[in-house]
Homo-oligomer: A and B are copies of this chain.
Amino acid sequence: MWLGINFFSMEKQQRTEISSLGEFGLIKHLTEHFELKNPSSIKGVGDDAAILDYKDKQTLVTTDLLLEGIHFDLTYVPLMHLGYKSAIVNFSDIYAMNGMPKQITVSLGVSKRFSVEDIETLYAGIKLACDRYGVDLVGGDTSASMTGLTISITCLGEGEKGKIVCRDGAKNTDLICVSGDLGAAYMGLLLLEREKKVFASDNAIQPDFAGKEYIIERQLKPESRKEIIESLERIKVVPTSMMDISDGLSSELLHICKQSKLGCRVYEDRIPIDYQTALMAEEFNMNLTTVALNGGEDYELLFTVPLEMNDVFQNLPGIKVIGHTTDESLGCCLITRDGQEISLKAQGWNSLEK
């Protein structure tokens, strides 16, 4: 269903002007199908503030701002996918603390270009993500905007005291692990950007994504790694440090090392990469390792565990040990297939440089 969408064409459908509902009408209309699922959600949308209740748990809070033209391009991002992804990127930050996302607030700035149906579609994606990950929508704000679409989501989560994992807890000689595979979302982005240009020159050409579904899906409908947090819980391991990979492996590794005052060695041949990512990098004539190190938006988990756990983590499904931490003085390096040491740099995803 997700990939069956006809990209590059907004299907003509009913159009209701947002002003016909008014701000309060719109919020009510959009949120009435979200039911509260979590015991900690006492009261949701409809008052000055939502009410949450945490007893022995600690509360986690994270927030993300997504702006049209900077973070997404509606030429090839369907609104439902955008809603889904906007929620997922926030959940991912809570999982990255070894917590469970429980509530979100969603604020939208909407220009006149968008109809009620458009915003409903965006919310349908948010609802799908909330349902799949067991998260409650508890509030938000909706406003007119002069230009384009602005999405601001704040996510609250719960973590057990003593089991919340920060970026600064890695120890020397820890194993460095990542979930899933890297670089796919970036390759998906480049592919969509290329097809957008093709489409701009000839509107009759619809792109053919056969054999490239995985990288497209990683870009347009990413998931966050709840199941990794659940398997760590099952084997009773609390990582020493953890982050989600949103800006690229290289950038995130440097964060963990800087905050934990360590260096690291990561092995090129151990970085997990999907076949479709590799094919696409070849087609674009790009260095595959660069793609995997610096491509962002994978929302995989990067974490460290003590060296003694090597046997466990070498065999854990969905997780790959890619290197280890070192003393700070040794710096942060990639060990290439032919044994060279190359300094890691945060080329990544700095949206302020765009």
Chain A interface (Cβ within 8 Å of chain B)?
18-19, 21-23, 26, 42-43, 46-55, 58-65, 67-71, 92-94, 96-97, 99, 103, 105, 107-110, 138-148, 150, 152, 154-157, 159, 161, 164, 166-168, 243-244, 259, 350-354
Chain B residues, CB < 8 A from A139? 61-63
| Contact between chains at A150 and B22 (CB < 8 Å) | no
Number of chain copies forming the complex: 2
* Chain B proximity of A120: nearest CB distance (Å): 15
| Contact between chains at A94 and B143 (CB < 8 Å) | no
| Contact between chains at B140 and A350 (CB < 8 Å) | no
| Contact between chains at A145 and B59 (CB < 8 Å) | no
Instruction: Given A50-B62, A51-B159, A63-B105, answer yes or no on A71-B143 (Cβ-Cβ < 8 Å).
Output: yes
| Contact between chains at B62 and A143 (CB < 8 Å) | no
| Contact between chains at A157 and B49 (CB < 8 Å) | yes
Instruction: Given A53-B59, A352-B23, A353-B19, answer yes or no on A146-B48 (Cβ-Cβ < 8 Å).
Output: no
Chain B residues, CB < 8 A from A107? 63-65, 152
| Contact between chains at A54 and B51 (CB < 8 Å) | no
CB-CB nearest 5 A-B residue pairs: A152-B152, A49-B62, A65-B107, A52-B59, A48-B93
| Contact between chains at A141 and B63 (CB < 8 Å) | yes
Known pairs A22-B353, A49-B155, A61-B105; list 14 more (Cβ under 8 Å).
A22-B350, A48-B167, A50-B62, A51-B97, A52-B58, A52-B61, A53-B58, A53-B59, A62-B139, A63-B107, A65-B143, A70-B145, A142-B352, A156-B156
Instruction: Given A58-B53, A107-B152, A352-B26, answer yes or no on A167-B64 (Cβ-Cβ < 8 Å).
Output: no
Q: Which residue of B lies closest to A56 (CB)?
A: B55
Ordered by A's residue number, 13 sampled pairs between the chains whose C-beta atoms are within 8 Å are: A19-B352, A22-B353, A48-B92, A49-B61, A49-B99, A50-B62, A51-B97, A54-B59, A61-B139, A62-B139, A63-B154, A67-B144, A70-B109
| Contact between chains at A48 and B143 (CB < 8 Å) | no
* Chain B proximity of A91: nearest CB distance (Å): 11
Which of B50, B68, B150 makes the CB contact (< 8 A) with A60? Answer: B50
Cα distance A98–B31 in the bound complex, in angstroms: 24
Cα distance A233–B123 in the bound complex, in angstroms: 39
Q: Which residue of B lies closest to A66 (CB)?
A: B143
Q: Which residue of B lies closest to A166 (CB)?
A: B47
* Chain B proximity of A284: nearest CB distance (Å): 25
